[in-house]
Amino acid sequence: MVYPNPTPDLTRRRLLFSALGAATALTLPRTGHARKVPPPEDPNAKKILILGDSMIAGAVGLYLENGLRRDHGYNVRRKGKSSTGLARPDFFSWPKEAAAQAEAFPADAVVAMFGGNDVQGLYMGKGEWITWPEPGWHAEYARRVNAFADIVAPQGQPLFWIGMPVMRPEKFHVRVQRVNTIFRAEMAIRPGGHFIDIWRLLADEDGGYRDRLDIDGIPGGKTERVRAGDGIHLSVAGAYRVEAHVRAIIHQVLSSDQPTQPTFAGAEPLPSAPALPSDGA
């Protein structure tokens, strides 16, 4: 479905998010990743709710759901929808959907991944917008992140917010750095908040974009393609890398007897993104 967008240059990329996210969800596991029959559901096991856009609807969410259930015995429910985020509640209202999901599946922890479709104007209702990067965009988007968090983790339950990966398209690269900064800051002050940084997980040693990465971290050895052709999405290998990293952090936190505290799990933070030109590029 195509819908009006106050930031036209991102329409094509958002459609790619939808198409590629749906496609990777149907990809069979790589060689060496044999299918395993999930264990019977344990009614006493912790419940994890996974919510997000095409990354969650696609391979990252699928592998994460399977891994948490199969390897750690959690009860998992996943809801992903391509071409969505927190910017356009007129197209798809995540606050409404999140409330319904949380009511139907009261979770002990929540995983969220948004941002790829949000680096555009924010629809305010009644034809009003906060365009990118108009003053007020940052504050309004941060408010929406917190409103979503209040719905899914009202009692301070662990909330794992997965950041956006490094991107090849320059404009997109700068913009997702901005939303990552917001996610990091808001999870830092939220009880139970955990920001999982995946930026350098899929980047070169300088934090720049790479299509291929060394296998097992051996320079000059075999490499594998970790990104899709658009420079935005992940390949199957890239999705496995992200899933393994994210799942390890989630299980470490949930299996600990210590009270959860805000964390910045993953890579070191990148410098602040440069100021955007006045035309919003």
pLDDT at residue 280 greater than cutoff 80: no
Averaged over 260-267, what is the pLDDT? 54
- Span of 23-32, 46-55, 97-106 with lowest mean pLDDT: 23-32
Nearest Cα residue to 260 out of 144, 121, 155, 179: 155
pLDDT band at 273 (very low <50, low <70, confident <90, very high): very low
Angular region, 17: left φ>0, alpha ψ -120 to 50, beta rest: alpha
DSSP alpha helices (H): ranges in the chain?
A: 11-25, 54-57, 59-72, 94-104, 137-152, 170-188, 236-254
Q: Torsion over CA of 144, 118, 267 and 206, rounded to 10 degrees?
A: -150
State what percent of residues in the chain have pLDDT above 90.
70
Entry pTM: 0.81
Phi, psi of 110 (to 5 degrees): -130, 140
pLDDT band at 260 (very low <50, low <70, confident <90, very high): low
CA distance from start to end of the chain? 25
**Each residue's pLDDT tens digit, 163-194:** 999 999 999 999 999 999 999 999 999 999 99
pLDDT band at 74 (very low <50, low <70, confident <90, very high): very high
Averaged over 42-61, what is the pLDDT? 95
